[in-house]
Amino acid sequence: MGPLKGSNWGEEARGVEGPSLSHRPFLKLGTPWVAAAPRMSTPSIHCLKPSPLHLPSGIPGSPGRQRRHTLPANEFRCLTPEDAAGVFEIEREAFISVSGNCPLNLDEVRHFLTLCPELSLGWFVEGRLVAFIIGSLWDEERLTQESLTLHRPGGRTAHLHALAVHHSFRQQGKGSVLLWRYLQHAGGQPAVRRAVLMCEDALVPFYQRFGFHPAGPCAVVVGSLTFTEMHCSLRGHAALRRNSDR
């Protein structure tokens, strides 16, 4: 990965910019089945404290342990740059089959997992990555074209760039479980006040189930494609996380 732009906080880029592309991929959080911090910690493995999930009505829970395994049957943890290849493999298969493009290329996956691993979350089944979310911090009220590649450590908004589920584990509600878990995780970081994403109009009802509400048309446009920007306050999710940690 080449040198990153924006290491100096100047007028051109107030955040840390990822690799630039002549043709940006599109499609944030694809279809429902693809679904898709105050101080930033160092790039290390961020394991989450095991806790029961409190899911909204109608969202299936995680599958229970059927038998004893050497590796945990189900593990949720923040991702690292070492996970980037596995993340991109799932993302590429999920999004290319639907849209022909990926929200993030491999260098951008590594970029975000290096700068802000605590804003990612992976679901591992017996040690195998089966679903993930990658996010970064944003410090403006609305998303812009810059938000696709920037991480702004002073921001209070978690921008969800991509959510994808391995093809062998789709149609099982895993995207819903992972998104709910991610919102609890992000809400547990005191500096993060809300989550934001962009999606196609048909997916608006899906994300409303998790507390997102439409903020209007997104400023990010790709060719003839337009998106709806969705916002979600994390205050309620933070309370759920605190209660589950007791």
> What are the DSSP E strand ranges found in the chain?
16-17, 75-77, 120-125, 128-138, 150-151, 157-165, 194-199, 213-217, 228-233
Q: Is 178 a catalytic residue?
A: no
Structure tokens at 29: 């959080």
**Given 113, 129, 150, 197, the catalytic residue:** 150
**Given 113, 160, 163, 234, the catalytic residue:** 163
Q: Is 182 a catalytic residue?
A: no
**Given 111, 159, 161, 185, the catalytic residue:** 161
Rounded distance between C-alpha atoms, residue 48 and residue 184, angstroms: 11
Q: Is 183 a catalytic residue?
A: no
Amino acid at 243: N
Rounded distance between C-alpha atoms, residue 231 and residue 246, angstroms: 28
Backbone φ and ψ for 123, nearest 5 degrees, come out as: -110, 120
**Given 62, 120, 136, 147, the catalytic residue:** 136
**Given 160, 207, 237, 240, the catalytic residue:** 207
- Residues facing residue 122 across a β-bridge: 77, 132
Catalytic residues: 136, 150, 161, 163, 207
